[in-house]
Homo-oligomer: A and B are copies of this chain.
Amino acid sequence: MPKKRIYLDYAATTPVDKRVMKAMTPYFSEKFGNPSSVHIFGQEASKAVEKAREKIAVFFNCSPTEIIFTSGATESNNLAIKGAVKKFYTEPKNKGIKPRLITDSIEHSCVLNTCRSLEKEGLAEVVYIAPNKEGIIQIKDIAAAINENTLLVSIMYVNNEIGTIQPIATIGKFLEKENANRKRKILFHTDATQAVNYLDCDVEKLGVDLLSLSGHKIYGPKGVGALYVKKGTLLTRIQDGGEQERKMRAGTHNVPAIVGLGKALELVMKEKSKIAIKTEKLRDYLIARVLKEIPQSYLNGSAKKRIPNNANFRFDNVEGEGLLLSLDLEGIAVSTGSACASRSLEPSHVLLALGLKHEQAHGSLRLTLGKTTTRKEIDLVVNKLKVIIERLRKISGDVLKSFQ
């Protein structure tokens, strides 16, 4: 008989909420029009897209015209950064100048690799700020990195591996002050993919010009995301074609997924505070039990500035990979780092940036809770974890002894 499975990898992806699915369903086979079509089938689809856009605008406290639909957070981040750089080169006043981008070394690979691509192509100079030991970016480091050619600062709202919350609103205020005395305004972008479920995402309060989000991290569908683009912020589109999304993103609208994204955000808005409190409590219980009951276990990242659903542990003398596989055999799904890098054998760039050694990074495990996670599940996972870690440590001890 198959074991009951426990999923504690909600930072990698979430199931589509039944209510989201219900909202999406009519737009696959029934109201299936192309929103760009003029006739009634097109109008129906177009209305659904615009209604979703309005819901999203309410969530972020912005205007619907400031929301651009994309295929996901990866595309949103590519569009924000490359779009700003491409735009920079279209402006005659910038002739002969290479723009500077400022980001940090613990961003998701879609921000890091976008920056690296631009560097490689010679289109931008990039400063990668290191976080402190808790994974927090310091404003003084941003200040030190700014020069007159600085075009954009991109700092994630919440780190996907260690759950650390960055001081986005404070950075926003700092940049606003900076911009008051500058000819070239510095744009502020944040990847809010991991923040939306739990944190205040009011773009006014955050002081951002660009904000990325994803559907499938918030109980919405995969294959859809959005980019908030503050009025007056000019980007050159990176996906060329038709005139969709005010010529900022070509391609037929993914209508059901867009409807689903709108519904998912509506639900987050309604249920966020309740779920955050419940989840944080459970997560704190998980952390307390692990640190108390498992010897040589440590919490990676910040204990306080942390998203409610994230726990990231390291265990001395255990391989995270072995832990993950042993837990998987027990029907428990966790991760060693970002899903996007999980098939790579490299240690997590995030954990290394915190100052961890390779073996410490390799001995780390990420557990991320969801809105249906129960105390019973947490108990079961901790109990299994204790047994498995003891066993794995014994094996590696025996192996070491056999070499002595």
Contacts and interface: CB of A to CB of B under 8 A. Distances in A.
A124 to B, nearest CB: 13
A15 B28 contact: yes
B340 A74 contact: no
A206 to B, nearest CB: 23
Nearest to A35: B339
Contacts of A336: 38
A279 interface: no
A14 interface: yes
Contacts of A34: 9, 12-13, 216, 339
Contacts of A348: none
A9 B37 contact: yes
Contacts of A32: 13-16
Contact of A74 (B221, B239, B331): B239
B109 A39 contact: no
Interface stretch (A130-138, A146-154, A244-252, A268-276): A244-252
A7 interface: yes
Number of copies: 2
A47 interface: no
Interface stretch (A56-64, A113-121, A377-385): A113-121
A29, A239, A256, A336: most-surrounded residue (chain B CB, <10 A) = A239
Contacts of A30: 15
A311 interface: no
Contacts of A222: 252-257
A33 interface: yes
Contacts of A342: 36-38, 42
A334 interface: yes
A10 B77 CA distance: 33
A16 B45 CA distance: 14
Contact of A36 (B12, B28, B89, B241): B12
Given A222-B255, A240-B113, A39 B333 contact: yes
Given A39-B328, A335-B38, A251 B110 contact: yes
A324 interface: yes
A35 to B, nearest CB: 9
Interface string A252-268: 11111100000000000
Contacts of A239: 74-75, 78
A242 interface: yes
21 contacts: A5-B41, A13-B34, A16-B28, A21-B28, A38-B342, A39-B327, A40-B333, A42-B333, A71-B71, A71-B72, A72-B251, A74-B250, A89-B121, A108-B241, A109-B242, A110-B242, A113-B240, A114-B240, A214-B252, A216-B252, A243-B340
